[in-house]
Amino acid sequence: MVTKFTVKEKRIVSYNPNLAKKQRLEIMKMVDKASKFSTYKNIAKDELGDCAKYVDIITKDSSGKTIKPIIGLNKSKIDEDLKYAGYNLLVTSEIDMEPLQVYKTYHSLWKIEESFRLTKSYLDARPVYLQKKETIYGHFLICYLSLFLLRVLEIKCFKNKINSYDLINFMRDFRVVNKGDNTYINISRDQAVNEKVKKLVGFSNLDALYLTKAEVDNFFQNCMLLDT
């Protein structure tokens, strides 16, 4: 049984000049590759890939008679793609949403993919070297809680000014060694990330070689105050 129904949709067109520049470069790169195929034999030996849409193969003359394949460029397709480079069409059933809200929602979807990548690559969610169901559940619970806390730091504490990768690198890299006399030796190596955290937290001595206990305590107190 087939049921037909109608749905209202909203279409939103956006244009990004940086994307247009990037796409035009990619198009011309494919055109350059396509232009190097001068004979049908060349095409048979190599893979066209994405540039296939810019290759025009003529196998019949104006009268419909089969001829030896003539390889050329599909200039109309090239001109069309160059014309619309940088444009993006969004189609949604959320007709009450403002166009900018739809645009921002769509472009935040990459966060979902990033979360899976972070969980697998940085939080060691996989592979799982466990056998019991309870321990597997516990393993993934810890991974998801770690991801949650990481997002809290990124979004709530640091207001999206430091990405998750830099936060992970900072937490793994920032280390101090207690000398035993209320002073610490800073053995951190990633100064680039330290500089970002220093600006946001306001801890000017973050990259100093020697730190006092009061300075270390002050750093962690400032981090906890970021979400207030």
Q: Per-residue pLDDT averaged across 23-37, rounded? A: 87
Mean pLDDT of all residues in the chain? 83
Q: Residue 137 and residue 98: Cα distance in Å, rounded?
A: 40
What's the pLDDT score for residue 45?
45
Side chain identity at 2, as an amino acid letter?
V
Q: Residue 114 and residue 165: Cα distance in Å, rounded?
A: 10
Q: Residue 143 and residue 140: Cα distance in Å, rounded?
A: 5
Q: Residue 172 and residue 162: Cα distance in Å, rounded?
A: 15
Q: Which of 140-144, 167-171, 184-188, 217-221 is the most confident on average?
A: 140-144
Distances (CA, A) of 137 to 90, 101, 146: 38, 36, 14
pLDDT 10s digits, 3-19: 888 889 999 999 999 99
Q: Per-residue pLDDT averaged across 145-155, rounded? A: 90
Q: Per-residue pLDDT averaged across 108-125, rounded? A: 87
Whether residue 210 has pLDDT greater than 80: yes
Burial of 12 (0-12, 13-18, 19+ CB in 10 A): middle
Written as one string, the DSSP assignment of 152-172 is IIIIIISTTSS-HHHHHHHHH
pLDDT 10s digits, 180-208: 888 888 888 877 777 777 777 777 777 78
Boundaries of every domain in the chain: 21-87, 97-157, 164-225
What's the pLDDT score for residue 226?
56
The closest of 211, 208, 147, 149 to 177, measured between CA atoms, is 211
At 222, the pLDDT band (50, 70, 90 cuts) reads: low
User: Whole-prediction pTM value?
Assistant: 0.55
